[in-house]
Amino acid sequence: MPVKFILILGLVFWGCDLLDKGEAQGPDVIDAGVDDAGAKERVVTKTPAGGIRVLHIRNDADERIAIKITYPEQARYDDGAPVVVNVSTFFTNNFGFYKDLDAEKIGAIHISYLWPGKADDTVDAVSDGENDYGGENAIAALRDVIRFAAGSIDDENGVNISEMSEITPLLDNLGLWAFSHPGLAAVNVMASHGDTFPSLKYFVGRENPTVDTIASVEVGYWEGDTPVVNPSYSYPESYSPLAITMDYSLAG
């Protein structure tokens, strides 16, 4: 038998012996703990105290909703930080994540989000769907954001809010904050979907209109200390709970 053939045959047997002994080595895998089913354990990168985390969750239609979490430098309490969802504006133009409350400065975790169809190019975040300006799509998205903040649903990578940061979120201390017309969305989401986030503890509203018809600045507004008045608007003739009616036929 030729020497080359014997050498090759020996190498083949040697390689098979290594495989049988489990000594063959592949690429390095970081923290790839494997359970009986062969699934790899997740490796979660924790956001440090004072940091910001941008992520996406998915709704029932598999559409993405963008969320931004701002963490405090230090939790308000020894056992963790309260969680506050900042309800975003929807009547007015809003570019990017909306934030009018610095909850992190009092040791709370601040959560903002993008309405369906909105984007924030500075952090490469976008929410899928169509913007309906506070309609059913928007309210459903806000519902899912609150459920995420409550720990009821994970992000699109299967990571729960409770394991995302060095700051521990107090999921039993969850609230909503809304300034001006976003209060309408806050009330609507609680009225329509409140049973899906039973752990919501409070709602703080500042200067919220009771109905959307009185949120319109078209009828007049204050510019500093100066009232800006629409002469076509006359109360109570022009007002009803469902609509504001003004006559512009004489407008030049």
pLDDT interval class at 210 (50, 70, 90)? confident
* Highest-pLDDT range among 22-26, 60-64, 232-236: 60-64
Higher pLDDT, 144 or 229: 144
| pLDDT greater than 50 at residue 17 | no
* Cα 200 from Cα 87, distance rounded (Å): 14
Q: Give domain limits for the chain.
A: 52-209, 216-252
- Looking at domain 52-209, its CATH superfamily turns out to be Alpha/Beta hydrolase fold, catalytic domain (3.40.50.1820)
Rounded percentage of the chain residues whose pLDDT exceeds 70:
81
- Given this model, what pLDDT does residue 212 score? 66
CB 131 within 8 A of CB 137: yes
- Given this model, what pLDDT does residue 30 score? 23
| Span 110-137, pLDDT tens digits | 999 999 999 999 999 999 999 998 999 9
Distances (CA, A) of 82 to 43, 72, 161, 182: 25, 10, 12, 21
pLDDT interval class at 20 (50, 70, 90)? very low
* Cα 83 from Cα 172, distance rounded (Å): 9
pLDDT (mean) for 215-228: 78
pLDDT (mean) for 1-28: 40
CB atoms within 10 A of CB 90: 22
| Low-confidence winner among 2-16, 108-122, 220-234 (lowest mean pLDDT) | 2-16
| Low-confidence winner among 164-173, 184-193, 238-247 (lowest mean pLDDT) | 238-247
pLDDT interval class at 225 (50, 70, 90)? confident
66 SS3 class: strand
| pLDDT greater than 50 at residue 21 | no
